[in-house]
Chain A
Amino acid sequence: MAECHPVGFQWVGEAKARGAKVVHIDPRFTRTSAIADLHVPLRVGTDIAFLGGLIKYVLDNELYFKEYVVAYTNAAALVSEDFVDSEDLDGLFSGFDPERNQYDEASWQYEPEEPPHSGSDHPAEAAEQKAIEQHSDVKKADRAQAAGSGGPPIASKPKRDETLQHPRSVFQVLKRHFARYTPEMVAEVCGIEPEVFLQVARWVTENSGRDRTTAWVYSVGWTQHSVGAQYIRTCSILQTLLGNIGRPGGGILALRGHASIQGSTDVPTLFNILPGYLPMPHALQHGSLEEYCADAAGKAGFWGNKRAYMVSLLKAWWGDAATPENDFAFDYLPKIDGDHSSYRTIADMIQGKVSGYFLVGENPTVGHPNGRMNRFGLANLDWLVVRDLQMIESATFWKESPEIETGELSPDTIGTEVFFMPAATHAEKEGTFTQTQRLLQWRHKAVEPPNDARSDLWFYFHLGRILRERLADSTDPRDRPLLDLTWDYPTHGPEVEPSAEAVLREINGTGPDGRAVSGYLELKDDGSTTCGCWIYSGVYADEVNQSARRRPGREQGSVASEWGWAWPYNRRILYNRASADPDGKPWSERKAYVWWDEEAGRWTGVDNPDFEATKRPDYVPPEGARAQDAIAGTDPFVMQGDGKAWLFAPAGLVDGPLPTHYEPAESVVENALYKQQANPTLEHIEGPWNRENPPRSEVFPFQVTTYRLTEHHTAGGMSRTLPYLSELQPEFFVEVSPELAELRGLTNGEYATLVSSRTAIEAKVLVTERIRPIRLRDGQVVHQIGMPYHWSYSGISTGDGANDLLGIVLDPNTHIQEDKVSTADIRPGRRPRGPELIEFVEGYRRRAGVESGRVGVNGRDPVAAEAGEGSKL
């Protein structure tokens, strides 16, 4: 955190000054470790074992927050008799299909208290929707995130045992699942001393309960794994058991790495979701608006209003053309039917399936793993539009990339037309970023952008305008969605810049009177309201740009509610009703945050309560209640269908209802807990340009992990081009321990070559005790190599691209790559140049028993195809 979010880290410093203990869990020693009370250098890829050990410690020693757990979680729910845990199947859960490497979730369900789907308006349809969810093409389409704000639908309320003693209660299932995650097992798997683990366990539990809370902070160190979603699930279970969710000083805080990466998920440019985590319609599930809303109709929680959110979105996009008669133009939306995520699309490009590609402030040939594969993708397009500030590598791959040097690519063979369109900087346009805590902050424009540089708002507005002009006379029904689109934004200035405030107001939504609504509770499903992103509704309440509020922090309380605007409803801590007990009283004076004011008949506190303001704590939903009315006064998790935090996830994750320790896809260690070595549902993308290093390979004997430096930013387009930053961190280096340096004859300050099944790269060696070898109980020594990934061949400071070394295997829930752990060899000296590099890497592949990585023209046809063996692409 001190390295990558330094200014945010000042608050950790403040906490430490007030007596907080700071624990840093990271394979690498960083500036954070230097400040921390304790640094835990666990082996890369073993976080579930560590966190699972903490869960076991909490359960065994009865250190959980009992009242919180019973009232606010699904600990008391009973799981189906058909469920079999990974403890009993050596690393697999019940329902696994080894042919497809997918699970059927049917056996993970609760034991129902009522007939399935009886709460739904259309039980048969809801059941059908649920059944289709198990279809392979739906599983691949990242449905879990699409259920985001509502949580995945569950068929019915579970039977409960409030004593938590029933052997099939979630609580007991959890106990058995983590029974073998002992301090000794944690020490063995993670490569740390049991005492270190126990120290963390004591600090975390002593600092949780009525009077105290513990916060966990993570970044891509958790998400970029083959079990990334399950890493965060493990922490969620721990924090929920300890009563650390929805309370001040608690939570699981995702520190995101880009100015508006949270906003890019909320108002997504993502294939699987629409604004506000509404799912993209799926061809197999959503033939009509009715089918689209079937899983939510009659459902408890705010997701029960899905139809109102969706109809309001369709009205925002298609205005008068969206009518009750035409299903509010639902059919205008394109449908997905599988994985259309970024890496799959790159593979499709190499196969010639994609004509054109827009790169908008993104540099995938440096920032994504497997740069070579990415460049082959770009080389097979008809055209590419790059919008950026500097001439980034993804725009110059056709003349300067490493594959030009090896002869695998050449300008003569690349037909890709490239348009470099200069972009405006953050200072040259206005609009909102959503920072890592869901806070929208408006930026005012300082100056006009130079020459042809324009905002992306300008580019897409005018591209849309031109397309609509071209198609104005079309009678083709395919063109109606473009022609009927609401696209009449006011413009200003000599460059005809569209108004970002008008767009923000559309995102906020309007009521039947045409005025900005104050929040999503005002949205209707009859077409009388519009809203571009329901969770952002309220950002333009009272016709005021709430995100531009800047009352100085020193003039406000600690919550600073009048600086910017946070979704939803300007709430700064989500699910904060959990900061009060079931009766609505603060758990303790020290941790008071929101509470029920009996006299006033409403919830109040230092933050906006994340609960209906006048819903009494003793409210019990009447029979047949819907949406938020079906959530009891004691259920803080208002977006979940049952209002509870889930210790066990009966639906929503494709790789298991509970987190289980698997080794990374490329690990040098055998899984100590199960026969199942790696995540059984891992997503692979196969091709000669994405060969995988075999697990426990002697040819690739070292673990590699990648990270950022304080002085650089991701793929470097915004930092390697700046003199100050290039001077601070002038060249690509790798960090190795003195032991590994000795083992391989590496010299500090000299070059080393790193090799994987993808390629070989070179970097300066930094010999440092910041990276330590891990000694396992059986005597195996695991050497780890640290590698910042900011460099490539352009800019002021240059070097090989670390990401070229990495392959692409994906977390099946999120399609995010496992680039925090891979394997490689390292040897002294510089890498071979030109065609010799290909032969050098090919030799490694042969020795490791990996298929050939040779490719034909533009990365397309492998040599195998030329030899008459048929294309493996």
Chain B
Amino acid sequence: MKTWLDAWPVFRQLTGPDPLGRGAAARSKATENVVSRTATADRVVQSVCPYCAVGCGQRIYVKDEQIVQIEGDPDSPISRGRLCPKGSASKQLVTSPTRVTTVKYRRPFGTEWEDLDLDTAMHMIADRVLEARRKGWQDDNDGKRVNRTMGIASLGGATLDNEENYLMKKLYSAMGAIQIENQARI
């Protein structure tokens, strides 16, 4: 009888040392068995939040090659383990059900998306780059050598890695494209 009553949270709350029911009184067998996803993860990877430029440290918890949780990294001298609402929600950024993970193609004057395989898309884009480059090519402008194409433009977001920005600027410059811009202008 005692055991049965003790298992009843309201009884413990009324008779025990936790009258507000926010501690021991509220615990149950189920509570005891709960284990956080961070504890059962296969590995923890140190990363950086992708939203604003404060650069808060993140710990990404992975189980069975899936991200199961993202939390603040207490080691970071910048953020000391904190994350804001966006950083705290960033697991959903990765696991969002509306995320589009396959190539989509809209043909000229088309009314719907079509599927395309990645390799075909890459080669189609390469064809178009070469054609646009040729079409917009200028050896000279107003009598001055410019050695460039005005046919291709690019606008990058400022969540690009430095290494990505570097390859972009390098490749675009080599193809002669100059209208290369970034959110940093905005």
Contact = CB atoms under 8 A, between A and B. Distances in A.
Contact of B89 (A422, A504, A724): A724
29 contacts: A256-B52, A257-B158, A260-B162, A263-B160, A264-B160, A264-B182, A270-B185, A317-B170, A334-B173, A340-B178, A354-B136, A354-B179, A356-B128, A360-B155, A362-B156, A390-B98, A411-B110, A417-B107, A426-B90, A433-B48, A433-B162, A434-B162, A435-B53, A448-B65, A463-B125, A554-B75, A721-B98, A722-B96, A725-B85
Interface in B71-93: 74-80, 82-90, 92-93
Interface string A448-468: 111111111100111110110
Interface residues of B, number: 117
Given A256-B53, A418-B106, A455-B164, A335 B147 contact: yes
Contact of B130 (A454, A467, A550, A796): A467
Contacts of A457: 161, 163-164, 167
Given A259-B55, A711-B85, A711-B86, A456 B50 contact: no
A7 B161 contact: no
A822 B152 CA distance: 32
A431 interface: yes
Contacts of A356: 128-129, 132, 151-153
A713 B51 contact: yes
A317 B124 CA distance: 26
B162 A258 contact: no
A355 B161 contact: no
B150 A353 contact: yes
Given A7-B56, A464-B167, A335 B175 contact: no
A553 interface: yes
B153 A264 contact: no
A255 B54 CA distance: 8
Contacts of A355: 128, 131-132, 135-136, 151-152
Judged by DSSP, the binding face of B is mixed
A385 interface: yes
Contacts, number: 471
Contact of B106 (A5, A417, A814): A417
Given A258-B158, A399-B111, A725-B86, A481 B176 contact: yes
A127 B116 CA distance: 56
Interface in A553-567: 553-554, 556, 560, 563
B60 interface: yes
Contact of A284 (B65, B93, B144): B144
Nearest to A388: B100
Interface in B33-64: 45-57, 60, 62
Interface of B: 45-57, 60, 62, 65-67, 70, 74-80, 82-90, 92-94, 96, 98-111, 113, 116-118, 121-126, 128-132, 135-137, 139, 141-142, 144-186
B137 A478 contact: yes
A260 B160 contact: yes
Given A360-B156, A420-B100, 18 more contacts: A259-B49, A269-B168, A337-B144, A342-B185, A355-B131, A361-B156, A385-B125, A390-B96, A422-B100, A435-B53, A436-B54, A446-B60, A450-B101, A462-B122, A463-B171, A467-B126, A503-B163, A553-B77
Contacts of A262: 53
Interface stretch (A437-445, A591-599, A618-626): A437-445
A264 B52 contact: no
Contacts of A257: 52-53, 158
A856 interface: no
A416 interface: yes
A259 B158 contact: yes
B22 to A, nearest CB: 24
B159 A259 contact: yes
Contacts of B145: 283, 287, 331, 335
Could you say which of B93, B111, B153 has the most chain A C-beta atoms within 10 Å of its C-beta?
Answer: B153
Given A274-B169, A335-B144, A451-B102, A425 B47 contact: no
A151 to B, nearest CB: 20
A337 B186 contact: no
Contacts of A6: 84-85
A364 B174 CA distance: 26
A418 B105 contact: yes
Which size class do A's interface residues fall under? 35 or more
Contacts of A455: 161, 164
B181 A341 contact: yes
B157 to A, nearest CB: 3
A428 interface: yes
Given A478-B176, A485-B171, A414 B184 contact: no
Contact of A398 (B49, B101, B106, B162): B106
A722 B51 CA distance: 13
A417 B48 contact: no
A767 interface: no
B67 A427 contact: yes
Nearest to A313: B170
A388 B53 CA distance: 19
A185 interface: no
